[in-house]
Amino acid sequence: MDGDSVMMTISDLQRSITDLSAILHQSVKVDHLLTLTDHNAVLQHAKFSVPARTEGYTVDDNARALVFLSRAQERWKIPTLELQRKLLSFMLQMQHQDGRFHNVMNFSQEIADEASVGDHLGRAIWSAGAVINSPGPKGIRDCARTIFDKALPWAIRSTSPRTRAYACLGIYERLNAEPNEPNLLSNLRSFADSFVAAYCQNQTCDWSWFENILTYDNPRLSEALLVAYKSLRDEEYRNIAEESLLFLTKIQTVDEIFVPIGNRGWYVKGKSRATYDQQPIEPGGMIEAATLAYSITGSKEYEEIIRKALGWFIGLNSKSVRVYDESSGGCFDGVTEEGLNENQGSESTLAFLLASESLIRNFPRD
């Protein structure tokens, strides 16, 4: 471990949120993300902490990496511009001429799937918006703007809540660079209104959610309405975002610890929820959404949600295992019924890095 690094402990969760942020900043390393990045892009998987080259690359993971890199320059020593250019080049190659995206490339740099509209397209829009909102050179931002403009019409046509949620995050990022752009605001409102409609359709006295199932990366749906509220100041967006986020927290809190919905069956309304396998994208997304909610409301309730979700990464989980590995800077791929999934893939590592960056940025210690 680097001399400047520290190991965050469960007892640190009791510190003030600004002190917790400072300790987290000292604990987080970007080494494993750099290890996973080769001449072409960010590799998808690892065997333990060693990159698994045969598994190739995905737009999903490289989009996440671009979002992180666009925000991380001021906090970690990373060759940001070099990496942004590399990953944007990958995104250009993966975008079909009609604006849709392929998602998977094998290690021989052969595209391995058909162009489609899915989560990966929404994440590509999110990453392009983040690059547009970054302090990089004009050429990099213009490239990202081209990717964004070609992909957005497909997200508008999509009925997938997560594709639309990631697109909302991308629009919000771009609005920070291009405020009051009428087409962006109109599209953001359209997406947000679709979440309101879905919520009203599925909500009952004991179910405050946008779908009749809880699956993966759930907090992004609430976060999408929070960013819509910040841009459009529609109180209905804020109210539903908070109601849904608090419902999600209640469902995923068991014996006062954070227990993400498991991917072996998820949680269908009216049925039993799955406990395993638990994936880092859920607590990671919860930290980001709760941090945003706290910045809007100032409610201590969200501060406690942040602590619980962060605790999951450092041992306060249903198996009492550390999921973040300070020695490598990687994050293990999840908590299973048997214990820890010891592989350190890019999705897991970037879930922790994105969450950490959000907390550190929003709770600086003076």
Side chain identity at residue 122, one-letter code = G
Q: Specify if 248 maps to a domain.
A: no
Q: Where residue 4 falls among pLDDT bands split at 50, 70, 90?
A: low
Range of the domain at 150: 37-179
Q: Where residue 95 falls among pLDDT bands split at 50, 70, 90?
A: very high
**What is the rounded CA–CA span in Å between residue 192 and residue 188?**
6
Q: Specify if 65 maps to a domain.
A: yes
Q: Residue 271 class from Cβ within 10 Å (0-12 exposed, 13-18 middle, 19+ buried)?
A: exposed
As a dihedral over the C-alpha atoms of residue 76, residue 168, residue 288, residue 206, rounded to 10 degrees, the angle is: -170
CATH of the domain at 50: 1.50.10.10
Is pLDDT of 273 > 80?
yes
**What is the rounded CA–CA span in Å between residue 307 and residue 57?**
32
SS3 category, 36: helix
Is pLDDT of 1 > 70?
no
Tokens at 124, concatenated: 């590509």
According to the model, what pLDDT value does residue 6 have? 83
Q: Where residue 13 falls among pLDDT bands split at 50, 70, 90?
A: very high
Could you report the per-residue pLDDT of 33-83, keeping only the tens digit for each? 999 999 999 999 999 999 999 999 999 999 999 999 999 988 998 999 999
**What is the rounded CA–CA span in Å between residue 74 and residue 79?**
11
Q: Specify if 16 maps to a domain.
A: no
Count of alpha carbons within 13 angstroms of residue 352, beta-carbon side: 32
According to the model, what pLDDT value does residue 276 have? 98
SS3 category, 335: strand
Q: Where residue 2 falls among pLDDT bands split at 50, 70, 90?
A: very low
Is pLDDT of 26 > 70?
yes
- The structure's pTM equals 0.97
According to the model, what pLDDT value does residue 205 have? 97
Q: Specify if 285 maps to a domain.
A: no
Q: Specify if 123 maps to a domain.
A: yes
**What is the rounded CA–CA span in Å between residue 83 and residue 187?**
30
- Nearest alpha carbon to residue 209 among 277, 276, 261, 168: 261
* Mean pLDDT for the stretch of residues 285-297: 98
* Mean pLDDT for the stretch of residues 208-230: 98
Tokens at 207, concatenated: 């179910």
Domain count, the chain: 1
129 touches 172 (CB < 8 A): yes
Q: Specify if 310 maps to a domain.
A: no
User: What's the chain's length in residues?
Assistant: 366
Q: Specify if 312 maps to a domain.
A: no
Span of 69-83, 243-257, 313-327, 348-362 with lowest mean pLDDT: 69-83
Q: Specify if 222 maps to a domain.
A: no
**What is the rounded CA–CA span in Å between residue 63 and residue 257?**
30
